[in-house]
Chains A and B, each alone.
Chain A
Amino acid sequence: MPITFNATSGITFNDGSTQNTRPAVGFRNRIINGDMRIDQRNAGASQTFTAAAALAYSVDRFYGYCTGANVTGQRVAGTTPNEFAYRFTGAASVTAIGFGTRLEATNTIDLAGSTATLSVQLANSLLTSVTWTAYYASTADAFGTLASPTRTQIATGTFTVTSTLTTYSAQISVPSAATTGIEIVFTVGAQTSGTWTIDNVQLEAGSTATEFERRPIGTELALCQRYYTRLEWQFIGYGSGGGSVRILLPFKQEMRATPTSIVVTQNPDYSNSSSFTSTALAAASTSVAQATVSVGATGQLSYGNTTPALVTYSAEL
C-alpha cells in the first residue's frame, strides 16, 4: 500500500499506521520510569505497604499506599515486549490501594492550558475498575502528604479492566493554573485477593496516545537519580588524633533538592577502630554528599574495606 496523504486523516503509511497530528519525537513521556525498570530501593524484592501509613516509594518515582490491611507489591517480569511491570498482591480486609507518581513543575509546566494524554497498561485478576486521577500541586512541587495533601484535582476517570494486560488511555484538559507540577494516581478498591498489575505509564502532550516511549536504561536511571540515589562509602587515609577527616562525593546526578539521607549499612570493617569516634554521613547540597569522621588517635584509617557503608539519598516529591 502506498503512503497516502489526506487533509482529514493525515498520513497513512504502507504498514497501515496513521499519523494525523504533528509527530512527537523523543522524550515525549513526562512520566519517569513508566515501565518500572528502575528499582533502586528493592531491586525486584517484595515490599510491604502498611495500611494507613504515609506514602511509601517503591520502584523509582512511584509510590504506593493502602488502607484496611497491609499489601505487598513488587517489580515483576513483564509481558512481552515489556521487561518489567509492577504488581500488588491483595490481602483480606484491604479496602483500597493507590499507586502514583509526582512530576516536577519544570517538567510539566508547558502542559498547562492544553490537552495531555494519559496511557497505561493495566490488569486485575479480581477487580474490574481502576480509577485514575490527575492533580496539580498547590505550590510548586509541594503536593503534601497522603494525610494532608496540598493539591487540586484536574480530572478523574475509571478504566474497566480485565485479567489481561491491556492499554487504556484518557485525555486530560490541563488547566492553565497547573504550572506547579502534576501528580497521577491510580487506585483500586477492595483488593482482598488476586493481583493488580500496572505498566507502561505515559503522560504526553496532545490528544493522541502514542506508543510507549522506551528510553535507554542509562538515560532512565539518570532521570531517576535526580530523585533517589545510593552511594557506597569506602576510604583509607591518615588521621590526626583529635581531628576529623572529611570526604566529599559528588552525586551521580544533580539532585532535585538537598536530599534526606539514611545510612542503610554502617558497620564496615575498619582498622584503628579506636580512631573512629564518630561518623557523620549526610548530604551537603544538591550536588555533594559528605562524610565527616572523628579521629581519636593518630594513625591510618581504613573504612569499609570489604563492606562499604551504604547511604541512600532521597529528594522525592
Chain B
Amino acid sequence: MYKLKNDPRCVIRIQDNAFIPFDSANTDYQVYLKWVSEGNEPLPADEPTPAEETNI
C-alpha cells in the first residue's frame, strides 16, 4: 500500500514509511508502477506542511 506525498518526486510506502523516488532505475519505484498497473491506487496525500509547500 502506498500514499501520495505533497512532493511530485516521491511516494510513501506505508508499511515502512519509505520515501520512494520517482526514478525509473529505482527497483522500489518499479514495484510501485507494477502495483498501479494492476489497478491499485495510492492513498491521497495529507494536507501539505509548510516544508512541503516550499519543497522544490
Chain A interface (Cβ within 8 Å of chain B)?
A: 141-142, 145, 148, 242-244, 256-263, 277-284, 292-295, 314-317
Contacts and interface: CB of A to CB of B under 8 A. Distances in A.
Nearest to A145: B31
A182 to B, nearest CB: 16
A274 to B, nearest CB: 13
Interface in B1-31: 7, 9-10, 13, 16-21, 23, 25-31
B27 A242 contact: no
B51 A316 contact: no
Contacts of B23: 257-258
B51 A280 contact: yes
A46 to B, nearest CB: 19
Given A145-B31, A315-B26, A280 B52 contact: yes
A273 B54 CA distance: 20
Interface string B20-48: 11010111111100100000000000000
A115 B16 CA distance: 41
Interface residues of B, number: 25
A261 B18 contact: yes
Interface of B, secondary structure class, is: mixed
A282 B10 contact: yes
Interface of B: 7, 9-10, 13, 16-21, 23, 25-31, 34, 49-52, 54-55
Contacts of B25: 141, 256-258, 315
Contacts of A316: 27
B26 to A, nearest CB: 5
A63 to B, nearest CB: 11
9 contacts: A142-B30, A244-B55, A260-B21, A262-B16, A277-B51, A279-B51, A282-B7, A294-B49, A316-B27
A299 B9 CA distance: 30
A263 B17 contact: yes
A281 B29 CA distance: 18
Given A260-B18, A260-B20, A262-B16, A280 B27 contact: no
